[in-house]
Structure 1
Amino acid sequence: MSDRFDPILLSELIASHKQKIADLGVVIRYNESFEELEDKLPIDSKAALTPHFATALNTYTSANAFWLGGFDEDDQLVALSAARLDDLGGQAMSEYLKRYWRRCYPAEDGDLAEASETQPRFWNEVRGRVAYYGDFHLKREGYQGRGLPKVFGPLAMLVGAQKWDADWYYTWVRERDWSMRYPLAYGFSRTYFPGLRWVKPPSSIEPDLAAGVNSRSDVLDWMETLSRPGEQALNK
């Protein structure tokens, strides 16, 4: 079994997911300008990007970030997923996250959020080129219950795999979404709870986060499963 991405399979999966979304009346667009994205918000209650992607805190290029937008017949944004690539080199993700969260999020006491020195052990394995997925949001009215998340989320994963072929992929998930198996539906094979340990938890988001994680091998196996409808049914 090859450990290389099959470009034909990847292209076919992207095309099939894009068509399934089109069948729901949503047109997919790929974009690398987060300034343009901020001009297109809000989607329902989501009026701004999180600190992970807000342009006031980040400077992204076409090489290290993109977003997928789903647009309705009136050209209004109804679905969103963003991704970025961080090249950690030999540094473990457990160390990177401690520095990252302190820079981006405030704590309840007005200081900056502070992650614990001791993080879950699985982060020690995560190194190299790491893709983060976040700011996932769907318009509820007209789209809830129609299956859009189960094709839109995986499409973002597939596009990131095509663009970067990263060593690892991860996302943050709220506790209630983790318990409903959302990470699995969106293409993440492993879920860890808790995903982070805190000294000073952030004030602007829920601190009880789970982590959805894929290794590169996980993504290869997941793509093969997507191409076999019978196996997909077993994993629902």
Structure 2
Amino acid sequence: MFEPSAIAIVRAISQIETAIMNEGVAEIRVSDSVQELELAAAQAGKANLVGEHFRRELNTLPPSQVLWVGLFNEPGVCVTTVAAKLDEHSGWSLQQQIVSYFERAFDADDGSKVILAKGSASYAGGLTGTSVYVGEGHVHKDWRGKNLLALAQRMLILLAFNEWRPQTIYGFMRPDKIRKKYHLNWGYSIERPNAVIWRKPPAQKDLRDLHFVALGTEGVCRLCQDPLLAGCGKFS
């Protein structure tokens, strides 16, 4: 299977970096520390600091499995975050990984764990090999409207691919974001509704209706060819 070269990835990242700095960002930091991500998220005004996928009490996240991008202003305060983690599910499909993780990490209204319906996440049943989850996207309210989250997402997708060479890079998105084409602006070329079918739904209501978004090697190649996604407007 054709893969983008390291040189092509570096060139694409450089274009994205220039676009970010042109929006007034003073520094772009890349880190593998969840503790540093928590601090950066607090500075950016993220209410829950980090979600379940990066919460240390729910995950074992050594530096070899974490990568995140932070955008900082002139005083050194973080204004945008997005994070990636390497999924270790050798012998499983991505479907099995998603079902197992959701049922372990998320609570229902009564305090017990959620339960997924049989056949949930079937769209990922044929996806095997290494995968990378991307989430924790947030932009400080004073820095919105500059497309920073989209640019940071694209940069992180390329960094994560170069670091881990996964077969699938994926995440989850709410329907309102899908309707506004955020997934395309952030670099994802695959989208599936009904990402999770609940038998016992989560207490957190905005998790009850999610779309699966992803890209594979072909999508990364396209992102390298057009890292600024010229046809997309500014969303975030």
Task: Establish whether TM, by shorter chain, passes 0.5.
Answer: yes
78-87 or 118-127: which moved more? 118-127
User: Which letter maps to 1:156?
Assistant: L
| 180 and 33 in structure 1: CA distance in 2 versus 1, 3 angstrom threshold | same
User: Which letter maps to 1:8?
Assistant: I
| 99 and 18 in structure 1: CA distance in 2 versus 1, 3 angstrom threshold | same
Structure 2 residue runs of 5 or longer lacking an equivalent are none
CA contact (8 A) 2:4 2:220 kept: no
- Cα distance in 2 for partners of 1:85, 1:175 equals 25
- Match of 1:107? 108
Structure 1 residue runs of 5 or longer lacking an equivalent are none
In the TM superposition, 1:1-236 aligns within 5 A as 3-26=2-25, 27-42=27-42, 43-141=44-142, 143-206=143-206, 207-226=208-227, 232-234=229-231
CA root-mean-square deviation: 1.8
**1:36-91, CA deviations, whole angstroms, 9 ceiling, x for partnerless residues?**
22233322243420010012222212211111111111111110001011132231
3-state SS of the aligned residue for 1:52?
A: helix
Q: Percent identity?
A: 23
Structure 1 runs (4+) deviating above 3 angstroms are 232-236
Query: Higher relative contact order at CA 8 Å, sep ≥6: structure 1 or structure 2?
Result: 2
User: Which letter maps to 1:168?
Assistant: T
* Superposition deviation, residue 134 in structure 1: 0.5
CA contact (8 A) 2:85 2:134 kept: yes
- Cα distance in 1 for partners of 2:182, 2:95 equals 24
**1:1-48, CA deviations, whole angstroms, 9 ceiling, x for partnerless residues?**
x70221111101111111211122221101111112223332224342
* TM-score between both structures, scaled by the size of structure 2: 0.90
**1:144-196, CA deviations, whole angstroms, 9 ceiling, x for partnerless residues?**
22222332221111111111110101011011111111111111001111111
3-state SS of the aligned residue for 2:195?
A: coil
3-state SS of the aligned residue for 1:112?
A: coil
3-state SS of the aligned residue for 2:28?
A: strand
CA contact (8 A) 2:175 2:209 kept: yes
Count of residues in correspondence between the two structures: 230
CA contact (8 A) 2:99 2:121 kept: no
52-61 or 34-43: which moved more? 34-43
